[in-house]
Structure 1
Amino acid sequence: MWLLLPILLYSAVFLSVRHIYSHWRRRGFPSEKAGITWSFLQKAYRREFRHVEAICEAYQSGKDRLLGIYCFFRPVLLVRNVELAQTILQQSNGHFSELKWDYVAGYRRFNLLEKLAPMFSTKRLSEMFGQVQKVGDHLIHHLLDKEDQGGPFEVDLQQKLRVTLGRLPQKSSYTYRLRDLIKQSVELREDHGLIRKDILQLLVRFRNGNEVCGDKWQLDTINDAEKLLSIKRLAKVAEDLLKVSLDAVASTLTFTLLEILQEPLIVEKLLAEIKDLSNKSGQLKFEELNGLRYMDMCLQETLRKYPPLPIIERVCRKSYSLPNSKFTIEEGKTLMVPLLAMHRDEKYFSEPMKYKPLRYQQPGNDVGQCEVKTKSNAFIGFGIGGSQCVGQNFAKLVIKVALIKLLQNFNLELDPNQMKTIKVSHRPAPLIHSKDGLKVKLKRREINPKFYS
């Protein structure tokens, strides 16, 4: 009798696990061969924690547009075709929207990111541009002061640029302090009419039912009972936006510097381009940044080779018939789009591991002869459709300002010895792992008088 119980328990566990690992086969999807072996369980366990290399391996393991894989005890549907991924995430009508951004007002449910998207319109960005420049100038003055103390010096630019909250414990004192500061600022703006042209001001306007687009920055306050967001929820939204933006900005800027500093010709082209900027009294003009075509191509190439979000992962909210196929993904199952693997696929980009900004050159651009073209419209960058980053234009603005001011003020040089030790991790965003981070030698540049005319 006592021997029968462990046998029954083992049999129940075995049958349950076998049922999970036959999910895609039972539904007719192309799927990896799933055997309950130690090696297979190890592979599935790595994927459960979104191990990017493991997902890239699965992407490269076949030719089908869809592949059913397993992340430990989770069946995951991997999309291995760019066009199909774009169609699903652009035209799925909320089937795969991110639940943490759900917002309920009355009897209607909205996606909070869609409501906040006007915060990053061109007009709003132009009005926030002054604050962005102040932050960039603060960084440059800090570095110049350091050089004044002892001449040319080395600095870990990754450490300087990367201020990420994503690695902090949820209950850290810094996280609580940030929430306290946001609460205090919200109260000052609502109770005392304080106005700052920044993202938090627009979040406070949204909380009070005001439009976040348009020209107004001042608040039209309403009763506490009618406010759309509590201060606690607003602080959490601000914290989430800050985490995402800091990761994207810091990683993209760091890897752009890593790549361009290995190619002096690219740096020369960027310097030639930014020399045409007005720079009156050292201040940039917002409208001129759109004319930096070669810099745009460099940033696009960085986003291709090192996408800030290497994998898009979404849970299906209701059954969805996949376009141009006989398959249906069920509610609760996970859909995964491996951006990093797609961006480094020779099928879409020739010589994908080489940094070639001119692959994005459009007809009529005069930044140089085009060396290589993409084979299809496979660039995804900051996401697709409902998974697209609403703040991508703000992130690009910050990156451009930082890059311009660094190149204007310093000659930058990589330590060639560290290139052998640099390794890239992709959790939660691309990050350089080496003994000294990204060590760069900085020397004050002789500024062209035109910059400060």
Structure 2
Amino acid sequence: MWLLLPILLYSAVFLSVRHIYSHWRRRGFPSEKAGITWSFLQKAYRREFRHVEAICEAYQSGKDRLLGIYCFFRPVLLVRNVELAQTILQQSNGHFSELKWDYVAGYRRFNLLEKLAPMFSAKRLSEMFGQVQKVGDHLIHHLLDKEDQGGPFEVDLQQKLRVYSVNIIANLIYGLDINNFEHKDHILTSYLSHSQAIQSIQSFTLGRLPQKSSYTYRLRDLIKQSVELREDHGLIRKDILQLLVRFRNGNEVCGDKWQLDTTNDAEKLLSIKRLAKVAEDLLKVSLDAVASTLTFTLLEILQEPLIVEKLRAEIKELSNTNGQLKFEELSGLRYMDMCLQETLRKYPPLPIIERVCRKSYSLPNSKFTIDEGKTLMVPLLAMHRDEKYFSEPMKYKPLRYLQPGNDVGQCEEKTKSNVFIGFGIGGSQCVGQNFAKLVIKVALIKLLQNFNLELDPKQVKTIQVSHRPAPLIHSKDGLKVKLKRREINPKFYS
């Protein structure tokens, strides 16, 4: 009798697992051979298993537009065709919208990101630009102070740029006038190491662990204090949080107004808890997008002195006054735009778009239907490094994106523009991408203006890039760069 129970339990587990791993075959989809091997379990135990790399291998394993795969015990439909991925995510009418951004008002359901998109319009960003520059100056002053202590020096630029990114978020999303290069014990400084540890765990578990931690509650307290200052004491600050508070109080986030419309006494559209969750989500996304794109842009351009000289020549044309940039001139940095585009191609901040089907969806131009609750996955990293779309995909070639009429140089090739996805596709596109590009440009301009940067060629060969999920240099020294102060053209400070 006692022997029968383990046998029955084992049989039930075996049949259940077998049923899960036959999901795509039973529905007629092309699928990988499924199973959990002993070598797979060993890698998972040693945390050598890499989610993103495994998805890229699955993308390269065949020619079918769709492939059914399994992430542990989760059936996932991998889309291996760019046009099909764009069609699904742009025209699926809410079948694959991200649930965490759902917002219900009355009897209608909205995507909260779409409601908040006007926060990142050119008009709004131009008014926040002064604060962005101030944070950029904090980075430069911190590095100049280090140089004053003993001439040229080496620094882990990846870590410094992560602190810069957190400073941007603290000032514009959390409404804190703080410089984390000086306040090293602040919660958002400690969040840096915490977020890296969480990313490692999420990589191991394929992103299925709960996200809450003690930081969630501490960050919520920061939001609560800032919101109370604005709602109860009339504080006005031109930042993203001010616009979130306006939305919470039923005010428009577009237009010219920053102050709250106190005549509206209706129930708050967002609770403090929900507003804090929005802020924390923006914190995670912005930190990864800004820090990784900055880091890998510098990693690539510092290996190509000609690219650096082209960027400096373009920056030299900016009409700086007392070291301050003009917002409207940044859109004219065409070569820098191409460099950022190439970085986003080779190192997309979101290497995989993953969406859960909300209701059964018939896939375009096919006989297949994906069921409610099943996961759809678009491997951006693999697509951006596919030779059929980009020649020499592992080479850093900004001139891929040269448009007719540009005078930056001669176009090296014709890139299929519809293949480049960058900050996402359709409803999965990052609404804050213009904000991220602005913050990245300010840091690049100020670094290239103020320093000669030198990368050790030997270090480049040993650098390891991991995706957990955002790209990160995984090495003891991060991105070690030697910095030396440059003599600034006097016209910048006239």
TM-score tier after normalising by the smaller chain length: over 0.9
Question: 1:377 Cα deviation (Å)?
Answer: 2.2
Q: What do the CA deviations read for 1:149-170 (whole angstroms, capped 9, x no partner)? A: 21111111111111x9999996
Is 1:102 aligned to residue 143 of structure 2?
Answer: no
Q: What do the CA deviations read for 1:255-292 (whole angstroms, capped 9, x no partner)? A: 00000000000000000001110001111111111110
Query: Partners in 2 of 1:199 and 1:345 — Cα distance?
Result: 37
Secondary structure class of the residue paired with 2:266: helix
The equivalent position to 2:359 in structure 1, one of 312, 315, 318, is 318
Query: Partners in 1 of 2:5 and 2:304 — Cα distance?
Result: 68
Change (3 A) 1:109 1:44: farther
Query: Partners in 2 of 1:236 and 1:111 — Cα distance?
Result: 15
Q: What do the CA deviations read for 1:320-360 (whole angstroms, capped 9, x no partner)? A: 11011111100000000000000000011000000000000
Q: What do the CA deviations read for 1:279-329 (whole angstroms, capped 9, x no partner)? A: 011111111111100000000000000000011111000001101111110
Aligned residues of 1:48 and 1:72 also touching (Cα < 8 A):
no
Aligned residues of 1:356 and 1:372 also touching (Cα < 8 A):
no
Which consecutive unaligned segments of at least 5 residues does structure 1 have? none
Change (3 A) 1:312 1:169: closer
Change (3 A) 1:201 1:49: farther
Change (3 A) 1:295 1:36: closer
Aligned residues of 1:207 and 1:227 also touching (Cα < 8 A):
yes
Change (3 A) 1:405 1:165: farther
Q: What do the CA deviations read for 1:23-49 (whole angstroms, capped 9, x no partner)? A: 111111111123565457779999998
TM-score (norm 2): 0.87
Change (3 A) 1:45 1:338: farther
Aligned residues of 2:24 and 2:30 also touching (Cα < 8 A):
yes
Query: Partners in 2 of 1:218 and 1:305 — Cα distance?
Result: 41
Query: Partners in 2 of 1:45 and 1:185 — Cα distance?
Result: 43
Question: 1:449 Cα deviation (Å)?
Answer: 1.7
Partner of 1:355: 396
Query: Partners in 2 of 1:42 and 1:21 — Cα distance?
Result: 20
Query: Partners in 1 of 2:46 and 2:260 — Cα distance?
Result: 49
Change (3 A) 1:410 1:388: same
Change (3 A) 1:160 1:393: same
Query: Partners in 2 of 1:84 and 1:443 — Cα distance?
Result: 48
Query: Partners in 1 of 2:446 and 2:96 — Cα distance?
Result: 40
Query: Partners in 2 of 1:238 and 1:372 — Cα distance?
Result: 41
TM-score (norm 1): 0.94
Question: 1:240 Cα deviation (Å)?
Answer: 1.1
CA RMSD of aligned residues (A): 2.7
Query: Partners in 2 of 1:147 and 1:291 — Cα distance?
Result: 32
Query: Partners in 1 of 2:491 and 2:208 — Cα distance?
Result: 42
Q: How many residues align?
A: 452
Aligned residues of 2:250 and 2:264 also touching (Cα < 8 A):
no
Aligned residues of 1:347 and 1:375 also touching (Cα < 8 A):
no
Query: Partners in 2 of 1:167 and 1:182 — Cα distance?
Result: 26
Aligned residues of 1:208 and 1:222 also touching (Cα < 8 A):
no
Q: What do the CA deviations read for 1:394-444 (whole angstroms, capped 9, x no partner)? A: 000000000001001111111222112210011131100112111111111
Query: Partners in 2 of 1:313 and 1:171 — Cα distance?
Result: 20
Change (3 A) 1:117 1:85: same
Secondary structure class of the residue paired with 2:355: strand
Query: Partners in 2 of 1:64 and 1:170 — Cα distance?
Result: 35
Aligned residues of 1:321 and 1:327 also touching (Cα < 8 A):
yes
Change (3 A) 1:66 1:129: same
Partner of 2:78: 78
Change (3 A) 1:47 1:358: farther
Question: 1:372 Cα deviation (Å)?
Answer: 2.5
Query: Partners in 2 of 1:178 and 1:2 — Cα distance?
Result: 52
Question: 1:185 Cα deviation (Å)?
Answer: 1.0
Partner of 1:149: 149
Change (3 A) 1:155 1:321: same
Aligned residues of 1:165 and 1:243 also touching (Cα < 8 A):
no
Which consecutive unaligned segments of at least 5 residues does structure 2 have? 163-204
Question: 1:236 Cα deviation (Å)?
Answer: 1.5
Change (3 A) 1:168 1:278: farther
Aligned residues of 1:305 and 1:353 also touching (Cα < 8 A):
yes
Aligned residues of 1:157 and 1:438 also touching (Cα < 8 A):
yes
Partner of 2:349: 308
Query: Partners in 1 of 2:243 and 2:277 — Cα distance?
Result: 15
Change (3 A) 1:340 1:366: same
Secondary structure class of the residue paired with 1:62: coil
Secondary structure class of the residue paired with 2:76: strand
Question: 1:183 Cα deviation (Å)?
Answer: 1.1
Change (3 A) 1:137 1:336: same
